[in-house]
Amino acid sequence: MIDFELPEPVKRQVEFITMMGQQVMRPVARYYDEHESERPWDYINMMWPTIMAQGGRSFSVEDDGGKKNGKPRIGHLMLIHVVEALSWGDAGLYLSTPGGALGGAAVDATGTPEQKERFLKRFREGEPKWAAMAMTESHAGSDTAAIRTSARLTEDGKHWVINGEKIFVTGGLMAAKESPGFVVVWATIDPAAGRGGMKPFVVEAGTPGMTVAKVEHKHGIRASDTASLVFQDCRIPFDNVLGSPEITKHDGSAESRKGFRGAMKTFDATRPAVAASALGIARASLEFVVSYLKEHDVQIRHGVPTNQQTAIERELLEMEAQHRAAWLLVLKAAVKMDARQENTLEASMAKVKAGAVANFVTQKAVELLGPEGYSCKLLLEKWMRDARINDIYEGTGQINRLIVARRILGYSSKELR
């Protein structure tokens, strides 16, 4: 039997985040959207004690002790609910929240137990800090196997030297500048090995050779910084390579596929969270439209036959149905992750559906309210802009559709491109 009742710890966290969204995030959302270069320090300092109390788990899921005490693991279930609620408050501010974020997720997915303890324990103490993940390059967006950023081992075997450039790094400015944060950089140690030569490296904030080359001016999620990072003879300790430093040959063998799947576990963990963020924005838009229509004496009737519904009712009910369908996919992806089951298919399905639904719902919300929805008087137009990123980062909708098709039909990446 499937139980959809939320565990009490998740309920309490969602209630707290919802309160933060209403009282702290929404009132300043427009300001930070219009003042992109400013950091929301009041919000950051207010959230940091909560992040520390959670051990950074709200944004980088560590083992929550499940099964050891006879209870199911709920780390990823907690994650998607917290991210959804934060994005309901404001997606840009959510992405500027201190914590492990995507960098922490990469450590959790690919690091050794010692590395997880070493790099993630910092999110339980001290001043606010951030972690980011750097994958995308100007010539290698969705084709991760084409990355050129390199990492070579020094002759004495004690350090790695990284050279290259990464673009569109979410939270890259704060992670690269605010010590003791870090950036997880994906680089190749052997270009000839293809995907098997890719490895993630932890580069600590302030490391010589890592510089912030540019901070983007963006369409949405403006409270969060998105940076380009340059690595020029950036030297890091040998044990900052996450997981095994061994090269896996890229020859189509099971060994090669296993090596790449191990590296891509990061996306299996983060794509459901990105999907949850998309649906938090969609829910905010849906709830606002329903409330707005109610204030103007427009009622939405449920259970009425389609041929008796008004045009507005049909639009709203379709928006609600699509939103609920997407959320069920996100739940499945997260629950499988907590159960330590492979969820690559479910994670990509959730990401595809949620990205499409967020765009559909937010655009419809603006459309239904006409000039009011399109104006900056309301947050609807901002939510529409914020939602657009969810179908782009962490794998575009097109790429995730390919992943879903390959998994269902049994094709390899060479057979279905």
Q: b vs e for 23-52, b when ≥16 Cβ sit within 10 Å of the residue's Cβ? A: ebbbebbeebbeebeebbeebbeebbebbb
State both tokens at 108: 């959790």
Angle, in degrees to the nearest 10, between helices 344-368 and 380-387: 150
- Could you give the dihedral angle defined by the CA atoms of residues 23, 24, 27 and 32, in that order, rounded to the nearest 10 degrees? -170
394 catalytically annotated: yes
Whole-number Å distance between alpha carbons of 38 and 411: 47
State both tokens at 298: 């427009």
Which amino acid is present at 120? L
Are 170 and 104 spatial neighbours (Cβ–Cβ below 8 Å)?
Answer: no
Q: b vs e for 353-392, b when ≥16 Cβ sit within 10 Å of the residue's Cβ? A: bbbbbbbbbbbbbbebbeeebeeeebbbbbbbbbbbbbbb
For residue 154, which phi and psi values (nearest 5 degrees)?
A: -70, 160
Alpha carbon of residue 219 to chain centroid: 18
Whole-number Å distance between alpha carbons of 326 and 309: 24
Residues 6 or more apart whose CB falls under 8 angstroms from that of 238 comprise: 153, 157, 158, 159, 160, 245
- What is the greatest pairwise CA distance in the chain? 77
Of 178, 313, 346, 394, the active-site residue reads 394
DSSP strand pairing (131-134 vs 150-153): unpaired
**Which sequence positions are flagged as catalytic?**
394
